[in-house]
A and B are shown apart, each in its own frame.
Chain A
Amino acid sequence: MAEEIKYTPQTWPEHPETANLEGKNKFLGFWLFLGGETVLFASLFATYLALKDKGPEGMTFTTQSLFSEGLPLVFLMTMLLLTSSLTSVYAMYHMKNFNFRGMQTWMAITVLLGLGFLALEIYEFYHYVHIGFYFSQSAFSSAFFTLVGTHGLHVVIGLGWIILLMLRNAKRGLSVYNAQKYYTASLYWHFIDVVWVFIFTVVYLMGVMG
């Protein structure tokens, strides 16, 4: 069967992710899915902006009071995630050059950076809850945790997906069959990164600037 052909760097197609119809379909379908995801996050952003700083009478939490102090930490999170997007590009570079080990290594680095981001986000959420800014505290807190938490959930799913891919294919090497899977996972990872850039800007920077 076509899927079991053993490739060499010479026979490896230039665009392994779209080398057959299944790959082309996945490629297009995933881009469309990301289009829908964009609308999903747009709805969350719009809600967040409408409910920012809104709470029960006498609520003292504002974006300034919450985010000013921890901004360096959030900046560190941003750097971790941006870097992880870059490392996933390296992984795709090695995929196109039929270098399986290179791809796995850079994917592993991507996962580590993503885990670092996730750990810091959990710490951040824990901190907010600790000072009384919990999910059901106000409309503001609900909107904040839902927006940032939905992004965090995407990170968790992305990490689970990439780890599963790496484990599954660890002993199999590259094929046209799994190249598509790596490629869509890396697309997803970029999307998560782009959404975070907007969260960093709209929630944190604009929050601190007022």
Chain B
Amino acid sequence: MSAIAQKKGFGSVLWDWLTTVDHKKIAILYLASGGFFFIVGGIEAMLIRIQLAVPGNDFLSAGLYNEILTMHGTTMIFLAAMPILFGYMNAVVPLQIGARDVAFPFLNSLGFWLFFFGGIFLNLSWFMGGAPDAGWTSYASLSLYSPGNGIDFYALGLQVSGAGTYIAGINFLVTIINMRAPGMTYMRMPLFTWTTFVASALILFAFPPLTIGLFFLIFDRMFGANFFDHTMGGNTIIWEHLFWIFGHPEVYILILPAFGIFSEIFAIFSRKRLFGYSAMVFATVLIGFLGFMVWAHHMFTVGLGPTANAIFAVATMAIAVPTGVKIFNWLLTIWGGSIKVTTPMLYALGFIPSFVAGGVTGVMQAAAPLDYQLHDSYFIVAHFHYVIVGGVVLAILAGLHLYWPLMFNQMLDEKLGKITFWLFFFGFHATFFIQHFLGLMGMPRRVFTFVGDQGWDAFNAISSGGAVFMALGVIVLVVNIVKTVVQNKPAGTDPWEDGRTLEWAIPQPVPFYNFKRTPLVRGLDTFWIEKQEGNKEGMTYAEPLSDIHMPNNSFIPFVMSLGLFIASFGALYNGEKTWAVPVLVIGLAITVISMGVRSWKDDHGYHIHKEDLMDDKGGKY
């Protein structure tokens, strides 16, 4: 079974993508579908800003505005930001730690397809009676009484895609713990691997509460349960707790990998070892730990009492300490470095002031008494867009430029990349900076329109104008991608010339088995060490050339996910349509049977023989 370039028809190419268990291909699947949902969420954002550009606008109706607002948040968090980061993790982490693949290639594929079908299911709501309209937080007091099936699409879609995320989290944890190359000790792991590790641990413990909360919502809305209905003894605050026990770690699940990407960028383009490596690792772990201690700061105004509010306020402020450690370490990495201002570096430099601004407003809201003033105002909107766009999205765009040559063996155009950066960066600040003041002036969030002459008109117009620049930036990026793909100029190994870690040492295009021989890691920034010592190959090997064990492709993950997708329709229409229960049963049966088939059929994988490796074009040594 040799996979050396053969001419394939469309059918077999499609089949290959549907059945692949290769982490590099799954990375591309994540990136492509995450990118698609990013565009969808971006269009929704533009519709929001058009509606709010002038007072008393009737571009969108109130109901439609609620749906678009909800879907913007849900799509961006669950279907755009997380999957794109998963794409980078899949593409980079196994190469960074010197592994042939992730620990569970089959589960990797399953995780992707679950996410994909969940996302499709959620977005089908647009065409099947209306999207969810209770905000991305979907508080039960609101969502229980939302007419139509919108909330049901939300609950079921997130349940399916959440299962995929959970599986991916376990997979990365095991990969990083068990699959590191010889010499890759924990304290030699690159920062992106470290942040992936901690983010995966957060996924492991944060997603089960969401699963339970969503099940309660599903049961309450579709199966007659009473968890949140106070007339039946239920308690709507339970949803808020479960949601935020998930929701707060979730923002760290997003931002920690972003920190990891920036840590790589600062070291590469300052051509210096990352300053304070061990402090960075410690700060990452501490942020992950504290991330679970602060969920009630989203609920200061619920009335949990002064004691609870005080404890959560202090815990929240404490997170600023490890985050500050990171900021200073990045600054000191740049300090005295031989800086190359490439597109990724530009994003990283832009990230620091933007994210600090978001962090400062975060500490302001952590003060519970002040939060009573800020709660549910545009100040909050400004804050979380500063941390999520100024942190996560800038990291995603930086990572796209940084890792594109690794994933596709092509360089994105630097000039267009810089144009994208400046358009996006200017647009971002123009859109959101002014929203702080709108919030302080009393404009509530989530309103579909506002009355003129309250002093909000000009600020809202400026905010909407800024959004246009962000959209232009993304359009230039799409042009850049199309241009790069059409030109298809090979970038080669170590395209940035200053790569420090193993992923840059591997020959391009990356062979499907990754490393012909497992590398030996001789220190932090092992590729840098090899280059300093004049090693042309860029790697020292830990083993002689031998047979490589590879997993087989499988179509089962696709079928398993499809089963849950079908079952979701059954659950959705339970009690409304006569075919609902049979469809639910059939869908679940498809999933269970495919699990049985997976269990019953032996899957030993196959071996690439070392004789085949010697004349392979994948690597010349």
Contact = CB atoms under 8 A, between A and B. Distances in A.
Contact of A37 (B208, B226, B596): B208
A189 interface: no
B223 interface: yes
Given A51-B234, A140-B233, A39 B208 contact: yes
Interface stretch (B167-175, B479-487, B555-563): B167-175
Given A39-B205, A51-B234, A54-B234, A29 B103 contact: yes
Contacts of A40: 208-209, 211-212
Contact of A29 (B174, B220, B245, B596): B174
Interface in B391-442: none
A161 B22 CA distance: 27
Interface in A10-50: 21, 24-25, 28-29, 32-33, 35-37, 39-40, 43-44, 47, 50
Interface residues of B, number: 42
Interface string B323-350: 0000000000000000000000000000
B289 interface: no
A146 B219 CA distance: 9
A55 interface: yes
B599 interface: yes
B162 to A, nearest CB: 11
B215 interface: yes
A136 B170 contact: no
A23 B293 CA distance: 34
Given A36-B205, A55-B233, A43 B173 contact: no
Interface string B124-155: 00000000000000000000000000000000
A164 B599 contact: yes
Contacts of B204: 32, 35-36
Contacts of A36: 166, 170, 204-205, 207-208
Contacts, number: 112
B211 A51 contact: no
Contacts of B171: 29
Given A36-B207, A47-B227, A168-B600, A139 B233 contact: yes
Interface string B169-201: 011011001110000000000000000000000
Contacts of A140: 233
Q: Range of interface residues on chain A?
A: 35 or more
A5 interface: no
Given A139-B226, A146-B219, A50 B235 contact: yes
A139 B232 contact: yes
Contacts of B238: 47, 50-51
B104 interface: yes
Nearest to A145: B225
Contacts of B211: 40
A55 B213 CA distance: 19
A54 to B, nearest CB: 3
B528 interface: no
Interface in A140-165: 140-143, 146, 161, 164-165
A125 interface: no
A72 interface: no
Interface in B227-286: 227, 229, 231-235, 238, 242, 245
B226 A142 contact: yes
| Interchain residue pairs A-B with the least CB separation, the first 3 | A54-B233, A136-B224, A139-B233
Interface of B: 103-104, 166, 170-171, 173-174, 177-179, 204-205, 207-209, 211-213, 215-216, 219-220, 223-227, 229, 231-235, 238, 242, 245, 596, 599-600, 602, 604, 607
Given A37-B208, A55-B233, 18 more contacts: A3-B604, A25-B174, A29-B173, A47-B227, A51-B234, A54-B233, A56-B233, A135-B225, A138-B226, A139-B227, A140-B233, A141-B226, A142-B225, A142-B226, A146-B215, A146-B227, A168-B599, A177-B604
27 contacts: A1-B607, A3-B602, A3-B604, A25-B104, A28-B173, A28-B177, A29-B104, A33-B170, A36-B170, A36-B208, A39-B208, A40-B209, A40-B211, A43-B245, A51-B234, A59-B233, A135-B223, A136-B224, A136-B226, A139-B227, A139-B229, A140-B233, A142-B219, A142-B225, A146-B215, A146-B219, A177-B604
